[in-house]
Structure 1
Amino acid sequence: MDDNKLTIIYDGEEVMADILFTHYSEQTEKNYVVFQFSDRDEVSAAVFVETENGEGYFEDVQTDEEWEMLDELLQNYLGDDQDDEDAQDDEDESDED
């Protein structure tokens, strides 16, 4: 099993998702998982609740404040990812010279 993938029941069907990143918020004292569905561009998030046996389950994100925090983190993540791609493109172009 790939540690960066998860299976989610979405609209009554099992769908695969790629984990983009995880985040622990000291403010809410919750662990979040931000993921993208493998078969579409849709990104979502959930709260991961760890159980005593080290496993866990997902709960819905509850508040607008949590969604705003996660959206800001996602924008930073996507910006960093884009910056990495731009830097690699610049390196590739300079290698061609």
Structure 2
Amino acid sequence: MDENKLTIILDGEEVMCDILFTHYSEQYEKNYVVFQFTDRDEISAAVFIETENGEGFFEDVQTEEEWEMLDELLENYVGDDEEDLEDQEDDDALEDDRA
């Protein structure tokens, strides 16, 4: 299984998702998983609860404050991703100029 993929049950059906990033919040003492559904342009998040046997399960994000924290993290993630893309495009343009 690909470690950047997960399957969740949504409305009784299995749905594939791509994990965008994970985050541990010291403030809330919780592990979060932010993911995008592979079949649609929708992003969501859940709290990951690890069990004693090393496996785990997901719970819903509970508070508005947690969602605000995750929104801010997602904005930073998207911003970093866009900067990386721009840097790659700049590098490609330099290589083209040298050729």
Aligned-residue sequence identity (percent) comes to: 77
CA drift at 1:91: 0.5
Rg: which structure is higher? 2
Deviation sequence 1:18-59 (CA, Å, 0-9, x none): 000000000000000000000111000000000111110000
Partners of 1:11 and 1:81 lie apart in 2 by 31
Structure 2: 5+ residue stretches without partners: none
Number of matched pairs: 97
Q: TM-score, normalised by structure 1?
A: 0.98
CA drift at 1:11: 1.9
Partners of 2:69 and 2:91 lie apart in 1 by 33
CA drift at 1:80: 0.2
Cα RMSD, aligned residues only: 0.5
Partners of 1:72 and 1:88 lie apart in 2 by 24
Match of 2:58 in 1: 58
Match of 1:36 in 2: 36
Spell out the pairing of 1:1-97 with structure 2 (5 A cutoff): 1-97=1-97
Q: TM-score, normalised by structure 2?
A: 0.96
Structure 1: 5+ residue stretches without partners: none
SS at match of 1:41: coil
SS at match of 1:74: helix
